[in-house]
């Protein structure tokens, strides 16, 4: 796949090493990245930026947040139904139902970079 310049991704993961890896990977794919370990930081840094092309979030976040609530908050702050993917090892029916209801895609860990890239590009193309 070719590099996708001018794409903007929001990444939320409370594990700093995973967050850094995601940021580097997306950057090499041509994305501008807003990466943060918590939702509050993302929400504070969003004003003045374009609407993201995609939101990527871990499911289990700190401070009582989940990937579902994080995506909802970012979408609300942007005023747009931004395509979103939750990366998780959780396979519970409750998560799947909540994600489906909010049109959030789930990718189960471990996620291969090429699989993630294909999913992101498919979501953006369909938006």
Q: Where are the domains of the chain?
A: 7-126
25: tokens are: 């990977």
User: 113 near 121, Cβ under 8 Å?
Assistant: no
CA atoms within 13 A on the CB side of 24: 6
User: What does the alpha-carbon distance between residue 123 and residue 86 come to, in Å, rounded to a whole number?
Assistant: 13
User: What does the alpha-carbon distance between residue 124 and residue 108 come to, in Å, rounded to a whole number?
Assistant: 19
pLDDT in tens, the chain (127 residues): 444 568 999 999 999 999 999 999 999 999 999 999 999 999 999 999 999 999 999 999 999 999 999 999 999 999 999 999 999 999 889 888 999 999 999 999 999 999 999 999 999 999 8
User: What does the alpha-carbon distance between residue 93 and residue 40 come to, in Å, rounded to a whole number?
Assistant: 27
Quote the pTM value. Answer: 0.94
Sorted by sequence, the CB contacts under 8 Å of residue 67 that are 6+ apart come out as 12, 57, 58, 59, 60, 61, 86, 87, 88, 104
What letter does residue 84 receive in the DSSP assignment?
E
Region 7-126: CATH code? 3.40.50.2300
């Amino acid at each position: 796949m070719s590099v996708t310049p001018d794409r903007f991704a929001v990444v939320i993961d409370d594990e700093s090493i995973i967050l850094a890896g995601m940021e580097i990977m997306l950057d090499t794919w041509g994305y501008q990245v807003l990466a943060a370990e918590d939702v509050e930081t993302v929400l504070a840094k969003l004003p003045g930026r374009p609407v993201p092309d995609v939101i990527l979030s871990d499911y289990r976040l700190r401070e009582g947040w989940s990937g579902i609530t994080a995506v909802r908050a970012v979408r609300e702050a942007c005023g747009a139904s931004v395509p979103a993917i939750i990366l998780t090892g959780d396979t519970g029916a409750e998560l799947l139902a909540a994600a489906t209801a909010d049109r959030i895609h789930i990718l189960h860990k471990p996620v291969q970079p090429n699989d993630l890239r294909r999913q992101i590009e498919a979501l953006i193309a369909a938006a």
